[in-house]
Structures are given as C-alpha cells and as structure tokens.
Structure 1
Amino acid sequence: MRWQGQTLDAVQSDLDDGALPGLARAGLVRSVQTPEFEGITFHEVLCKSALNKLPAESTLPFRFTVNTFRGCMHACRYCFARPTHEYLDLDAGTDFDTQVVVKTNVAAVLRRELARRSWKREPVALGTNTDPYQRAEGRYRLMPGIVTALAESGTPFSILTKGTLLRRDLPLLTLASRQVPVSLSVSLAIGDPELQQAIEPGTPTPGARLDLIRAITDAGFDCHVMVAPVIPYLTDSNAHLDALLSAISEAGATGVTVFPMHLRGSTRGWFLNWLAEHHPALIRRYRQLYGRGSHVTPEYKTWLHRRVSPLVDKYGLAGDAIRKEPVAPTRELVGAGAAPALTLF
C-alpha cells in the first residue's frame, strides 16, 4: 500500500466488504495499515457523537468524557477497557492492541455538541477509557482540535495519559489554561523498566514518563500521577513503591492516586493467561485474592492503603491536579495552530 493512499483525505472507492458488523455499525470509512505502525490496523470511522455522559450513579468527579480511539496500542495487560472491543465483534486480547478504531471527525462533532444551548460547560475528562496520546495520535492529530474546541467553548477539561506525545501539545494546553481550568495527569504505576515492558509493552518507559512530568510542571501546570493499578505481588513491595514515589516526587508531581488492580470481564482471563506464562507461582495466590470477582479482597485493599499512606506523606504527594483559576476567557483560542509537531519519543 503506497503512502499516498494512506493520507486522511485519500479517496477510498472500495471499502472492505468483509468488515466486521460491529465496525460497520460504528461508522467505518476504511481500514488502513501503515509502514511505521507494523502489525497495527487503523479502522477510521465517522462518529455521530463525541461526548459520553456517565451513568447517574457514577462516583467519578466528572460526568462527561471524550474518547478519540477504541482499542489502544499501549497493550497494557491489565487494561479494564479491553471488554469494550467485544461490542465491535473484535476480541479483548490481541485485537484490542492491534485493531484500533479512530474517530477521525471527533473534534468537529465535539465542537457542534459544545455549541448547543443546552451545554452547561461541565468538566470533560479525556483518557479515562483509552489513551488519547497513544502513538496513533502522532498520525491522526485529533487532540489539538479537541483542546481548542473545549477551551473556546469555556469547558474545563482533564487529561490522563501514559503517552509522552502530550509534550507536543503543551504550548496549546498552556493557551487553553488561560481560558478554562486544565488538569493534566500522568499514569505511572511500574518503576522497574523490565517489568514495565513486559506488562505495558506499547508504553513509553518509566524514565520517559518522569521526563513528561517534569515537562508538564516546567510549563506551569500541576501534575497528578496515577500510581495505578498496583499489581499484587509484582509492584506492591515497599521497596518498589518507595522508589517509585520518590522518583515521582523528584520529577515535580503534586500528588498521586494509588489503588490496586481490578480484573473486569475478559480482562481477567487475558491477564491471568499472561501471569500463568510468566509468573506461574502467583496463580494460586491470585485465585485467593480475587476469588470470582473483579476486585481484591477488602483485607488486601486495607493492607495496601496502610503501606502507601506513609509514603505519600513522606514525599509530599497528597495534593490534587487542578490548575489555578484561569484569566477571563476570550472566545477564540489565539495561536491554537502554533503547537510544534514533536515526535513521540
């Protein structure tokens, strides 16, 4: 396949008639494979909506989210979003990592939704399901349009990511923060590079993410870090947690959130198959710890809290990630197109 046929504005005259029904329902335009992302298929779709409203019973501090992708090249073994790929008639294992659905029109759809009179400018979260700064963002550049639309509409927003590509958009995010509250968080749960590559094979290294934290704070933002999930018997030792929180504090983070891994739906089988292959001695302990449910026992949760709390206090990481109040917003995000096009690494 020649590169000219892979550009986003290329005309696709013969769509794959063999597309899975789930993808067809999702608004599939075409499926693309590119030389720089070997083994990955991008399924470009036209979405009908961008804002997702959470159920009323949700306890999260926001009610709306935006997801630019379905599936994630990070390939984290424990990802709780894996079962969502089954709605597309794709599997929650390898397909989730390699069959990535791209909402190519998501920024335009979001802008229309934010312009509605009924929109109350409630906070919007990005990165709660799949990562908006996974490597695919380097090709599709969806986030600049989303950030601009949110800021110009007066909508506060937060971003959670493992992806160092966020650095590309720091100038734009700085402009946005002058109009609306912007919260930036980095996910970093594994400090051991070898273990990190085994469990999160598509993610930037721990060192690269520590550099991202520094870049965020150097740009004037507070940076919260998700030290989650803690993986029982692999990343819950006092030595690992102490070293990780020390490094996070040294990088300039203002706070951390720590909680244990949960194994929902088909994610459970995917992770336990990996565990059986690489750490078979832990399988019995996991069966005892998780039983037949998705969550660890209350006893383990209490034990982890008691282990982590002194370390959080020790390194001064009890703060939050909310940026200070912005200046009065202007309607147009001046300079929005000026963000430099940096590469992922």
Structure 2
Amino acid sequence: MSEDAMRWSGQRTDRVDAGALPGLARLTGLVRSVRTPEFRDVTFHEVLAKSALNHVPADARMLPGEYTINPYRGCTHACQYCFARPTHTRLGLNVAGDFDNEIIVKTNIVEVLRAELARKRKLPPRVAFGTNTDVYQRAEGRYELMPGIIDALAGHRVPFSILTKGPLIRRDLPRLVKASRATTVHLGVSLSLLDEELRQSVEFGTATTTARLATVRAIRDAGLECTVFLSPILPFLSDSASQLEELVAAVASAGATDVLYHSLFLSGGVKDVFFAWLRREYPSLVAEYTKLYSSGSETPYRHSIGERIRPLIAKYGFPEPDETIEDKFALNGRRGQPPPEEPAQAALF
C-alpha cells in the first residue's frame, strides 16, 4: 500500500455520528467518511450510488426533461452565493458550513454510468455537468471520477456540457478533445470577479481569476470553444462601468468564444448565508442589499445590468447573449434558480 493510501486508510471512520449527520446516517450506501490533512476541516462521505443519470422531471423549475450527472454533493469552492446550497438540506445537512465541508462522493459512479448506458434503449440526448455543484472542485483531484465519466459518454456518443470554475478541467483536455470527435462537447468557465481580495472573501475555495482566464485560453488552444459565464455580478461590489468593461475585456483577451452574464440571485437559505457574509465583510452595504432583495427591485436591477453590459459584449466582438447559448449548457434561461430535485435518496445511494 502506498504512503498516500495508508494515510487515507488511517483516516477512515467506521460509523457516522447520527446526531451531526442525520441524513447520512440513514443512507445504506455510505461506505466510509474520510478526513485528510490535505483538506482541512473537510469530510468526504464516500457512498455507493445506485444510479448515475438524473432525468429531470418535465415540470421542474430548471432543466425540464434534461439529464444531469452529479458525482459530488456539496462543494469546497464555498461560494457564499451558491444557488445549489439548499440541496444539502435533503441529506439533513445545513446550507452553510456543511455544504462547504461535508462532501458526498459517489465513488462507483463511473461503473454505474457504464452499466446504465449499456442497457438503455434510448440514450440521453444530452448530459449537463455543473448545474448543481462543480465537478472540478478540489475533490476531483483526489477521486478522479471525470475521466471515466467522459470516456463513458463519448463511447456512447452522448453529447454533454461542462460548466466549471475549476482549472482542474485542464487535466482532462486531451480526453475532452478526443470526446469532441465522437460527440458534441460544450465547455464553459464561470468567473465574474477580477478583484482578487473580493474573490478570496466571497468564494474562498475557488481558483484565482488569473487561473480561470488561463483555463479559458488552454481550452481555446486545445481547439475547443469556451463560453464564459460572467456570473454572478454583485451589486455595488463588481458592477461599476469600469469593472464590467475590464471583465469583458479580460475574457475577450483570453479567447472566449461567447459570454453570458447573470446578476446575483438569492433565494431561501442562500440569502441567509450571503447576508451573513455581507454583515461580516461589507456591513455598510447591508441596507442597500436588504432593499434590493426584499422589495422586488431586483428585476429592474437585472435589466439595468443588461443595459450596461450588452454594449460592452458587442464592443469586444462577442455574439449577442441569448437562450441559444444558454441552451448549450441546458440552462434554458433559468440560471440562478434552485437546481432540480434528484430522485429519492434511496434510489441514489
């Protein structure tokens, strides 16, 4: 056994504290919970999934009729505004620290996916990654689930899209180039903050914007198209005329093929998490945000952002953002809304 494997084996726990993790304690597919020094304060809960492909119901608020694959639940990127945080409550975990630090890993997802694809009479018309949590978060560097997933989809010529903040996708670019020869592959990188101090505060587990811009360039150098999601634009923090122009200019210089933009969307428990951060870091803006996100004025604000950023998008030679671009990533114009429900937990693990 390697030194690395021995270190992880030594961190194994044989049971889950039902008081702390009530949802996980009920999962029959839970294999072990693991902590390691490389991931401070993070616990990985390794589970055996019974299914890999998630077919979103036609009446879902987001991605109706689409297919998704979520190798991970929870995300070490720890973005304070992440719209996927409420999904953790389905496991009896909270939307704040648990979402950042209690990560569910479907360790057998590649094998399950291969079996599902082999027995399906009608293959999914498309699979979307990144509609819930980021598949290229730091955990992927340890578990390496995406290479097998990519190969399985490409082997059956199933089109797929990936939206990520993680430069780790660069590891898989040769594999993605090969997949693109067999099927349609759409890649997207999310970034909206050039202010490094602000990025480190509000999404402290993510890679730097410089690293993400380099990722856009690497994708383009590999011969693949890359959409950049300027999302979320934060009111009073990253939405000035100069900030927006600098941002669009930066992604244009990196070689992005097209861009989409979204202003900050807050719902349910996500709003509580974000406002807790805001009170700590920018208390002077609490009143403005309270007004903006409690009086219905968010919609006019979104329109004002569009009026400011669309001329810049045209100025730097990008096509007009529209639903055809969003559709590449199975977003259907609903980015920022809560992700769809997955099947009942008993069917997942």
TM-score, length of structure 2 as denominator length: 0.86
**Structure 2 residue corresponding to 1:153, chosen from 146, 152, 156:** 156
Equivalence for 1:55: 57
Change (3 A) 1:147 1:288: same
Report the CA distance shift for 1:289/1:17 in structure 2 as closer, same or farther (over 3 A). closer
Query: What is aligned with 2:31?
Result: 29
Amino acid aligned to 2:15 = D
**Cα 1:291/1:33, change in 2 over 3 Å:** same
The residue correspondences of 1:178-193 to structure 2 (distance < 5 A) are 178-193=181-196
- Measured after TM superposition, the shift of residue 60 of structure 1 is 4.0
What displacement does 1:120 show?
A: 3.0
CA RMSD of aligned residues (A): 2.2
Give me the whole-angstrom Cα distance separating, in 2, the residues matched to 1:167 and 1:237. Answer: 31
Give unpaired runs (5+ residues) of structure 1.
324-345
Contact 1:184 1:321 in 2 (8 A): no
Residues 219 and 225 in structure 2, CA contact (< 8 A), matched pair in contact too:
yes
Q: Quick one: which of 123, 127, 150 aligns to 1:124? A: 127
Say if 1:62 and 1:257 are closer, same or farther in 2 by CA, change over 3 A: farther
Give 1:316 shift: 1.6
Render the CA deviation track for 1:290-341: whole Å, top value 9, x for unaligned: 1177xx6221111111011101101122274999xxxxxxxxxxxxxxxxxx
Pairing partner for 2:71 from 47, 65, 68: 68
Change beyond 3 A, Cα 1:94–1:59: closer
Shift of 1:85: 1.1
Check the 8 A contact 1:222/1:322 in 2, yes or no. no
Q: Secondary structure at the match of 2:131?
A: coil
**What is the alpha-carbon distance in structure 2 between the residues aligned to residue 279 and residue 17 of structure 1?**
37
Match status 1:18 vs 2:20: no
Distance 1:52 1:195 in 2: 35
Are the aligned partners of 2:68 and 2:128 in contact in 1 as well (CA < 8 Å)?
Answer: yes
Q: Which runs of 5+ in 2 are unaligned?
A: 329-349
Question: Where do 1:291-330 residues align within 5 Å?
Answer: 291=294, 297-318=298-319, 320=325
What is the one-letter code of the residue matched to 1:243?
E
1:300/1:22 Cα in 2 relative to 1: closer, same or farther (>3 Å)? Answer: same
Output the amino acid matched with 2:306.
H
Deviations 1:99-156 (A, max 9, x none): 1111101111111222233333311001111000001101000000100010001100
The structure 2 residue matched to 1:208, chosen from 188, 211, 215, is 211
When residues 229 and 11 of structure 1 are mapped into structure 2, their CA distance, relative to the original with a 3 A threshold, is: same
Is the contact between residue 184 and residue 222 of structure 1 (CA under 8 Å) also seen in structure 2?
Answer: yes
Equivalent-residue separation in structure 1 for 2:33 and 2:120 (angstroms):
36
2:147 equivalent to 1:144: yes
Q: Is the 8 A contact 2:73 2:104 kept in 1?
A: yes
1:226 to 2:229 alignment: yes
Which residue of structure 1 aligns with residue 338 of structure 2?
Answer: none
* In 2: Cα distance, 1:148 partner to 1:322 partner: 23
Is the Cα–Cα contact under 8 Å of residues 80 and 203 in structure 2 kept in the other structure? yes
Whole-angstrom CA distance in 2 between matches of 1:6 and 1:49 = 30
1:123/1:156 contact within 8 Å kept? yes
- 1:166 to 2:169 alignment: yes
- 1:259-338 matches, within 5 Å, as 259-291=262-294, 297-318=298-319, 320=325
Q: CA deviation at 1:17?
A: 4.8
**Which amino acid in 2 is paired with 1:22?**
G
Contact between 1:222 and 1:321, CA under 8 Å: does it hold in 2?
no
Provide the rounded CA distance (Å) in 1 between the counterparts of 2:149 and 2:310.
36
Matched residue type, 2:309: V
Question: How many angstroms apart in 2 are the aligned matches of 1:231 and 1:13?
Answer: 40
Q: Is the 8 A contact 1:164 1:208 kept in 2?
A: yes
Which residue is equivalent to 1:98? 101
**Which of structures 1 and 2 has the larger relative contact order (alpha carbons within 8 angstroms, sep 6+)?**
2
Q: Which residue in the other structure is 1:81 paired with?
A: 84
The alpha carbon displacement at 1:220 in A equals 0.3
Bigger mean CA deviation after superposition, 119-128 or 135-144:
119-128
Deviation at 1:223, TM superposition (A): 0.4
